[in-house]
Amino acid sequence: MSALQLDNGKKKSASSSSLTSIIVRLVLLFAIDTFAIWFTLNLLANEAYFFAAAIAVVTIIANVTILHRDLYPLRWMLIGLTMMILFSIYPNLFTVYVAFTNFGDGHLLAKDQAITQITKERYLPEGGSAYQWTAFEGADGEYALWLLDATGVGYLAVPGEPLLQAAPGEAGVGELDSEGIPKTIEGYKRLNAITLAAGAGDAVMEILFGAGDQAVQIRGPQEAAELQPLYRYDEAQDVIINQETGVVYTPVQGTFIAPDGDELRPGFQATVGFENFSRFFTSSALQGPLLRIIIWNFAFAFLSVFMTFSLGLTIALIYNDPDFPGKKIIQSFLLIPYTIPSLITILIWRGLLNTQVGIINRTLESWIGFAPPWTEDQWWAKAAILLVNLWLGYPYFMLICSGALQAIPAEIYQAAEVDGASVWQRFRKITLPLLLVAVGPLLVASFTFNFNNFNLIYLFINGGPPIAGAATRAGHTDILISYVYNLAFAGGRGFDYGLASAVTIVIFFIVGAITLLQFRYTQMWEEVSENV
Per-residue confidence (pLDDT) for residue 484, from 0 to 100: 80
| Extended strands (E) in 158-243 | 164-165, 188-190, 217-218, 223-225, 228-229, 231-234, 239-242
Q: 278: closest CA among 52, 59, 499? A: 499
User: What pLDDT is attached to residue 491?
Assistant: 54
Q: What is 63-81 written as a DSSP string?
A: HHHHH-GGGGGGGGGHHHH
Distance CA 445, CA 182 (A): 77
The string of DSSP letters for 421-439 reads: --HHHHIIIIIHHHHHHHH
Prediction pTM value = 0.68
Domain boundaries, the chain: 12-99, 122-229, 280-530
Count Cβ atoms below 10 Å from residue 311 Cβ, excluding itself: 17
pLDDT in tens, the chain (532 residues): 455 444 555 455 545 556 777 787 788 888 888 999 998 998 888 777 888 888 898 888 888 887 877 777 777 788 888 888 888 888 888 999 999 998 888 888 888 889 989 988 888 888 788 899 999 988 888 889 999 988 888 999 988 888 888 888 888 888 888 888 888 888 888 887 777 766 666 778 878 888 877 788 888 878 888 888 889 999 999 999 998 889 999 999 899 999 998 999 889 989 898 988 888 887 766 666 888 888 999 999 999 999 999 999 999 888 887 777 777 788 788 888 888 888 899 999 999 998 888 889 888 888 888 888 998 899 999 999 999 999 999 999 999 998 888 888 888 888 888 888 888 888 888 888 888 888 888 888 899 899 989 999 999 988 888 888 777 778 899 998 888 888 777 655 567 888 888 888 988 888 888 778 776 765 544 444 444 4
Say if residues 74 and 81 touch (Cβ distance below 8 Å): yes
Q: Does domain 280-530 have CATH number 1.10.3720.10?
A: yes
Distance between CA atoms of residues 292 and 394, nearest Å: 27
**pLDDT given for residue 525 in this prediction:** 45
Dihedrals phi, psi of 191, to nearest 5 degrees: -100, 130
Query: Is the distance from CB of 515 to CB of 301 less than 8 angstroms?
Result: no
Cβ atoms within 10 A of the Cβ of 227, count? 19
Which stretches does DSSP call E strand in 213-350?
Answer: 217-218, 223-225, 228-229, 231-234, 239-242, 248-252, 255-257
Polymer length of the chain: 532
CA 92 from chain center: how many Å?
Answer: 12
Binning the chain into helix, strand and coil, the percentages to the nearest 5 are 60, 10, 30
* Cα–Cα dist 434/532, whole Å: 9
Are the C-beta atoms of residues 532 and 526 closer than 8 Å to each other?
A: no
107 Cβ contact partners less than 8 Å away, ≥ 6 residues apart: 101, 254, 255, 266, 267, 268, 269, 270
Q: How many helices (H) and strands (E) does the chain have?
A: 20, 13
Task: Give me Rg for the CA atoms of the chain.
Answer: 36
Which of 476, 478, 293 has its CA nearest to residue 380? 476
Q: Does domain 12-99 have CATH number 1.20.58?
A: yes
Q: Is 261 helix (H, G, I), strand (E, B) or coil?
A: coil
Q: What is the pLDDT of residue 38?
A: 92
Q: How far, in whole angstroms, is CA 414 from its chain's centroid?
A: 56
Is the CATH code 3.30.70 the one for domain 122-229? no
Asked whether the beta carbons of 218 and 224 are under 8 A apart, the reply is yes
Q: Do residues 525 and 433 lie in contact, with contact meaning Cβ atoms separated by under 8 Å?
A: yes
